[in-house]
Structure 1
């Protein structure tokens, strides 16, 4: 897998983990966190958890598929990303408006972003 694809995959898994990670088993959570957030290799995780490399691989793949399944049904991460894109477009559009409207429009946009940010898991 190319480096760009790996980075994209890592970013996607981290985003899905933010939304759905608490729905995984504790072992799946640990393995995903070590692999995607702490950048451990499969062998390092196996050593850390006292299991085989194959077991780590299977848990990782099952956890990834579970996150993708949740996202395909709930679409929370996709909706969050789409709202963030629209917010960025709105901010750019607001900055092109007359000064007298900018402050009020930016305040409304900030209120929308605050609502959305309060719904994003940590």
Structure 2
């Protein structure tokens, strides 16, 4: 559950501007402020089902945008490469050839 929430938060960080205002509001209240469906429904004077449907639609859109644009996947690739590069640089005698390969891989992520 936590992994799903973390992934959705990351998707939201990249693609929130592509959602409607209401979808953004519901996502922020539910995932960031940890409000329940009932609390959100009460605040907006709608049914819990309406809130649920907006959230599910927003989640589907975030996954659709990621499948088409791959911004999060590329970000994660870059972070992994940078982490490996940092580990190599901390070694007493860094492998410069491996660093060159990682730099090349980093350039090719996009």
TM over 0.5: yes
2:36 is matched with: 41
For the pair 1:20 / 2:15, whether they are aligned, the reply is yes
- Aligned partner (choices 80, 83, 108) of residue 78 of structure 2: 83
Q: Distance in 1 between matches of 2:63 and 2:56?
A: 11
Output the TM-score relative to the length of structure 2: 0.83
Q: Distance in 2 between matches of 1:59 and 1:47?
A: 15
5 Å matches for 1:109-120?
A: none
Output the TM-score relative to the length of structure 1: 0.75
Residue 48 (structure 1) shift? 1.2
1:73 is matched with: 68
Residue 49 (structure 1) shift? 1.2
Q: Distance in 2 between matches of 1:23 and 1:61?
A: 15
Structure 2 unaligned residues grouped into runs of 5+: none
Q: Distance in 1 between matches of 2:22 and 2:92?
A: 51
Aligned residues: 98
Residue 98 (structure 1) shift? 3.4
1:115 is matched with: none
